[in-house]
Amino acid sequence: MAQELSGMKVAIIATQDFEESELTEPKKALESAGAKTVVISQKPGKIQAVRHDEKTIQVDVEMTFDQVQASEFDAVQIPGGALNADTLRVVPEAQEFVREMDRNGKPIAVICHGPWLLVSAGLVRGRKMTSYHTIQDDIRNAGAQWQDAECVRDKNWVSSRQPSDLPAFNREMIRLFSEQRGREKRVA
Residues designated catalytic? 113
Among the residues of 91-165, which ranges form H helices? 92-103, 115-120, 136-141
DSSP state at residue 71? G
Cα atoms found within 13 Å of the Cα of residue 186, Cβ hemisphere only: 6
DSSP string, 21-53: HHHHHHHHHHHHTT-EEEEEESSSEEEEEEETT
* Longest CA pairwise span in the chain (Å): 46
